[in-house]
Amino acid sequence: MINYLLNKFHPETIFGWNFIFMQKKGSEKMKEQNLRLRFLAEGAALIALATVLSIIIIYKAPYGGSLTLFSMVPIIMISVRHGVKNGLFAAFVYSIIQLLLGLSNFSYIPSWQGIAASALFDYIFAFTVLGFAGMFVRTKAFSGKYGIYGAVALGSAITVIARTVIHMFASVFIWRSLWLEWYADDPTNIVNKFSPWVFALIYNISYMLPELILTLVATPVVASLYDFGMKKKKKEPEKNDEQAQN
């Protein structure tokens, strides 16, 4: 018993344990750093791609807002690939870029309160919400063979719809009063024909519904090109005794 304890707690044995522990800890830390660097590099590239795609406008709505060429897909894929936390960070950065690109729209708003509200609802909140797109990835409900595609599609649909709702709030509480003032002498204008919420719904759906459709078509396709670490490794055929002896 005494010999066993002496061997177990021998200085060389303790040193070996410490070495293994420190080596494992260092390996985990290096892995985290590599993942962080990969996120920063990939995130920067996808944010840049999303910005370029947002400039490619298919349809521009008369009072602001536009249908773009898959501009939300790269931001959604950041959340899908790297998790909601990193996705929200990337989406927030993207919202700031969109805010800077849309500064000219604030010239129509007479008060600083309206400008601040528009900056929050039309840009910061509306685009940052895209970072939640990856919330269903790696959940048990979507753990099947094709679960990743359902997770990506559902997350994309919810976030794009959430962005539409946020734009509706901006339309009702910020922009509608200006539109009514601009078209007060034209009762036939669409602004004067509907209630605030109905008009906001019709107006924002006019460009966000096609954007939703394009996004739902593209995201599962793009997701199929990525490896999410969910593919099971193929088991190597077991060698029989005769092959082992040979």
> pTM of this prediction?
0.76
CA distances from 59 to 24, 67, 68, 179, 221 (A): 54, 5, 7, 20, 23
Tell me if residue 234 falls in helix, strand or coil: coil
Please give the class, per CATH, of domain 52-227: mainly alpha
pLDDT at 143: 73
Which range is least confidently modeled, 23-37, 176-190, 223-237? Answer: 223-237
Q: Which residues contact 184 (CB under 8 A, 6 or more apart)?
A: none
201-226 tens-digit pLDDT: 988 999 999 999 999 999 988 988 87
Q: What is the mean pLDDT of the chain?
A: 80
Element at 60 (helix H, strand E): strand 57-60
83: pLDDT strictly greater than 60: yes
112-161 tens-digit pLDDT: 888 888 899 999 999 999 999 999 988 877 777 678 888 899 999 999 99
Helices marked H in 62-195: 73-101, 112-118, 125-128, 147-170, 176-182
54: pLDDT strictly greater than 60: yes
Tell me if residue 177 falls in helix, strand or coil: helix
What is the identity of the amino acid at 211? E
Confidence of residue 235 (pLDDT cuts 50, 70, 90): very low
pLDDT at 24: 58
